[in-house]
Amino acid sequence: MSTTEPQIDGRKKRADDNRRRIALAMLELVRAGETKPSADQVAEAAGVGRRTVFRLFDDMEGVYREMHAEMTSRLAPMFAAPFAATTWRERVDELIERRARMFEEMLPIKTASDAHRYASEFLQDEHRKITKLQRNTMLAVLPQSIASQTDRVNALELTLSFEAWRRLRLEQKLTTKQAIATLRFMAQTLLP
């Protein structure tokens, strides 16, 4: 074996693989509607023992952190992708489409996380970061003449928020297509 080849610690690799399997199991349980999966449920779904869960994570909060990291890695490319549209109005439409895809992916996970957010400093911090990122992305799409209108921006931010999407999809029981049409209508109403 060459001395330049990195040596792989089998135990570390197994631990990393198990951490990821546990996070993915948590994601799948939450997607299936389990808002507060127990360590036993997560362990069973991941195919590991309960002791493995708590050997790799100090508590269920750690599992939420790992789950969040997994979701962030899936959604980051959507957030970072440049807009294809050339006019600001077309970019607003593209932003709505993009958010609909992201919000639909996030819906069960964010709903479960929000149920625990007020007991978790980590989830509160992540919520603040996501909210700020969404606002900044929206502001970057708007012309300065509109971005400087505080009341209009606040109303548009609420309109294009995850909370609005959740209400349209879960409480009002709209299809994805109907929810997108509703967001477009509200955005058009708010924009001059």
Residue ranges covered by each domain of the chain: 10-60, 82-190
Which pLDDT band holds residue 117 (cuts at 50, 70, 90)? confident
Is 116 buried (19+), middle (13-18) or exposed (0-12) by CB count in 10 A?
middle
Nearest-angstrom CA–CA distance, 85 and 130: 23
Mean pLDDT of 136-143: 95
Nearest-angstrom CA–CA distance, 52 and 120: 23
Nearest-angstrom CA–CA distance, 60 and 64: 6
The pLDDT assigned to 188 comes to: 96
Using the predicted structure, report yes or no on whether residue 105 has a pLDDT greater than 60: yes
The pLDDT assigned to 97 comes to: 96
CB 147 within 8 A of CB 98: no
- For the chain, what percent of residues have pLDDT higher than 90? 46
Mean pLDDT of the chain: 88
Mean pLDDT of 65-86: 85
One of 1.10.3470, 3.40.50, 1.10.10, 1.10.15 is the CATH number of 10-60, namely 1.10.10
Which pLDDT band holds residue 63 (cuts at 50, 70, 90)? confident
Using the predicted structure, report yes or no on whether residue 6 has a pLDDT greater than 60: no
- Give phi and psi for 120, each to the nearest 5: -130, 115
The pLDDT assigned to 98 comes to: 95
Predicted structure pTM score: 0.78
Collapsing DSSP to helix, strand or coil, 36 comes out as coil
Using the predicted structure, report yes or no on whether residue 1 has a pLDDT greater than 70: no
Mean pLDDT of 51-61: 82
Of residues 69 and 4, which shows the higher confidence score?
69
**Structure token pair of residue 11:** 């135990």
User: Residues near 190 by Cβ (< 8 Å), separated by ≥ 6?
Assistant: 152, 155, 156, 159
The pLDDT assigned to 7 comes to: 55
Please write the tens of the pLDDT for every residue from 8-53. Answer: 677 888 888 888 888 888 888 888 888 788 888 989 999 998 888 8
Using the predicted structure, report yes or no on whether residue 101 has a pLDDT greater than 80: yes
